Amino acid sequence: MWSQFWERFKSNKLGMAAAIFLLALFLLSFLAPLIVPYDPVAIDVKAVLMPPSLEHPLGTDMLGRDVLSRLIYGSRISLKVGFVAVGIATVIGTFLGALAGYYGGLVDAVIMRLVDIMLCFPSFFLILAVVAFLEPSIWNIMIVIGLTSWMGVARLVRAEFLSLKERDFVLAAKAIGASDLRIIFKHLLPNAMAPILVSATLGIPGAILTEAALSFLGIGVQPPTPSWGNMLTAGKDNLEIAWWLSVFPGLAILLTVLAYNLLGEAIRDALDPRLEE
């Protein structure tokens, strides 16, 4: 199965390019303390608003801080938010969706009504309201995004379980006396992992955009810690005289979100059984 997946995946040129880009971004983020040319929070009054040059490849900001160094450190925030927030949402959504799909009846009705209630609120404004009452921090942002974005995963897993629980291998497991937990985690969940993986991959760019938007509004990651969102906020005040302060963080967000979307679509296509010859 995995060899077939790899053959399909590597034939998708856009998906491979997205995977290579994200791998390079991970490496940059992981090695940031070793490779950044300057301290991302060090102020240099002699280098205020310098345009891109050999000394500062992406220029400097209004406090003389190197934009390239801040951009690389900012990638750590975005990647962390994407993985932790989506991880929280995936765990909650998978657990509740599995219970709803397997047991049905009253359990299904209660969980699905909870999903409907959560979906009634615009996600971003719900996150905005909750974060506004909490102390702005990266951990609060990740937890709130995760706790308010699990509904799609729950509905997806429920649909998969409703289909899978009628298969012969589940009936056979019940016939030999397997417990509900064993059937759910040993037999059903592994067969539902493909759509869960795709959903998680496609959910990461949404979490990154949400964090960037919150930081842009000033209630996300607080200065001087660099994030792509608060770098955009700083850049908008000097857009006419220092275009690089907004262009480069904006490009970083655009390319990262696009890469995750392309990667998610490539994984979905590679896992689609209808593409089998």
pLDDT digits 0-9 by tens, 68-79: 999 999 999 888
2-31+67-275 CATH choice from 3.90.550.10, 1.10.3720.10, 3.10.129.10, 3.40.50.2020: 1.10.3720.10
Nearest to 161 by CA among 107, 97, 96, 92: 97
Nearest to 62 by CA among 251, 218, 219, 239: 239
Rounded Cα gap, residues 45 and 37, in angstroms: 17
pLDDT for the residue numbered 274: 54
pLDDT digits 0-9 by tens, 123-174: 788 788 887 787 777 888 888 889 988 999 999 999 999 888 888 888 888 8
Low-confidence ranges of the chain (pLDDT < 70): 1, 272-277
Beta strands in the chain (DSSP E): none
Rounded Cα gap, residues 66 and 196, in angstroms: 39
Per the listing, tokens 């795709």 go with 198
Domain boundaries in the chain?
2-31+67-275
pLDDT for the residue numbered 277: 46
Residues 228, 215 contacting (CB under 8 angstroms): yes
Phi, psi of 165 (to 5 degrees): -70, -10
pLDDT for the residue numbered 1: 63
Q: pTM for this structure? A: 0.87
Rounded Cα gap, residues 85 and 203, in angstroms: 9
Q: Which burial class, exposed, middle or buried, applies to 118 when counting CB atoms under 10 A from its CB (0-12, 13-18, 19+)?
A: middle
pLDDT for the residue numbered 23: 95
pLDDT for the residue numbered 3: 78
Radius of gyration of the chain (CA): 22
DSSP secondary structure code for residue 221 in this structure: S
